[in-house]
Amino acid sequence: MKTLSILVLLFCWCLLGCGGGETARKTHAVGATPESYYDQGKTYLRHANFKQALLSFRNAIDLDPEFAPAYEGLARIYLELDKLDKAWAFASKAIRYDKDWILTRVVQAKVRARQEHYDQAIAVAKIAVRNVKYSSVPNKDMALAEVYMALGDIYRQAGQLEEAQEAFLKVLSLDPLFLASDQAMRDLKQRRSNRESERLATLRKVAEKSELTRSDIAVLLVAELPLQRFFQPKVIASAGNVPSTLPGTPDKLHVSNQWPKDVTNSHWARHFIREALEYGALDNMPDGNFYPDRKMSRGDFAILLEDLMARYWDDKSMKQKYAGESSPYSDIANTDPYFNSVMVVTDRKLMSVFDDDSFKPLAHVSGTLALEAIRRLKSNW
């Protein structure tokens, strides 16, 4: 009997507590508005008080069920709690009620970045930058600073440090008191210093090799050439996960637009390979694999250099320049697939022949030779 009484009391307490909480939430202060609750919620959110922030945003929705900023606020809470599906759902609801509330795009970009879809995240943030001036956000300068801050963070996560620094500088130009970006700049400089040291160490290690793999070549190309200055990047879809913003389906996409199945997340040259693929300095093989450990032959390296030159000067005729000519090399016929490429790179003094007038197209490329050839190529750009 005593146990039953306790259960009844607990049940009543639960009803009163739940009901009382709901009633309290719907009892609003005199003069309260959705906007005031939203501002209050953002303040709580800045102090990581998610419970009170949630209550404030819910109060705003009580007053106006179609108040988009409150849904954006809820999306931010779930983003901080790493509940990305809920964050995306509330962001989508905010856009449904007000597509011009640009801060919702910031949340969407951050969700995509958290999912490591950096290309999509950057695209969304850039769209937000362009559309701030048309948005329904009252303080457009502050909104623009927030968008640039998000863009800088995404660039930093993606390892694009130059772009991150540029975005953070935009934040400081809009709001010199934006201390978060100032700290981000200091962190970025330290990361750039660490990355430069890492780059030099990796470069030195690769240059000392007598036989280079495709991974090694990716390192040299990315470390030595300003690919981002001359070539347009392409989206590389994650293995088995093609972003919905890309046209087509996995079987219709070119293999060079897909992340290679044989390069794992822990591969030592993963970031170099990704950048080489994004800027077309290297491509996947027809079967969709990259073959990171496959040795690079001198003939294949000549083809690679020729392709970079043809793209840089936008000269497709370069690849047929020596068609029909006799081969001056003892070990290459003018019908070989690398004949024209070898003629181009030797004519441009990027690679040299041996004393016996042979080129040795099937021999492996050494680190010293490859680095020297790439630097000579760079000096002509």
Distance of CA 85 to the CA centre of its chain: 20
pLDDT at residue 269 is higher than 80: yes
Question: In this structure, what DSSP letter does residue 281 have?
Answer: S
Give the model's confidence band at 188: pLDDT under 50 very low, under 70 low, under 90 confident, else very high: low
Please, what is the average pLDDT of the chain? 83
Question: What pLDDT was estimated at residue 182?
Answer: 59
In a 13 Å sphere around the CA of 234, the CA atoms on its Cβ side amount to 18
Encoding tokens for residue 334?
Answer: 């003018």
**Predicted confidence band at 71 (pLDDT cuts at 50, 70, 90)?**
very high
Cα–Cα nearest to 261, from 297, 236, 234: 236
pLDDT digits (tens, 9 = 90+) for 136-171: 999 998 899 899 989 988 988 887 877 887 888 888
pLDDT of residue 173: 77
Please state the domain extents for the chain. Answer: 30-194, 202-379
Contact 237, 258 (CB under 8 A): yes
pLDDT tens-digit series, residues 22-44: 434 457 777 889 999 999 999 99
Under 8 Å CB-to-CB from 320, ≥6 apart: which residues? Answer: 340
CA distances from 171 to 115, 121, 144, 188 (A): 24, 18, 8, 14
For Cα atoms 381, 258, 287, give the angle at the middle one, nearest 5 degrees: 100
- Give residue-wise pLDDT tens across range 87-110: 999 999 999 999 999 999 999 999
What percentage of the chain carries pLDDT values higher than 90?
55
Q: How distant is the alpha carbon of residue 135 from its chain centre?
A: 25
pLDDT digits (tens, 9 = 90+) for 109-142: 999 999 989 999 999 999 999 999 999 999 998 8
Contact 369, 296 (CB under 8 A): no
CATH number assigned to the domain covering 30-194 = 1.25.40.10
Per residue in 34-68, is it b (16+ CB within 10 Å) or e — as a string? Answer: bebbbebbbebbeeeebeebbbbbbbbbbbeeebb
Token couple for 152? 């800088």
Looking at residue 236, what is its pLDDT?
A: 67
pTM: 0.52
Q: What is the pLDDT, as a whole number, of residue 180?
A: 59
376: burial class by Cβ within 10 Å (0-12, 13-18, 19+)? middle
* Residues whose CB falls within 8 Å of the CB of residue 364, separated by 6 or more in sequence, listed in order: 210, 211, 212, 295, 296, 297, 298
Q: What is the mean pLDDT of residues 329-334?
A: 93
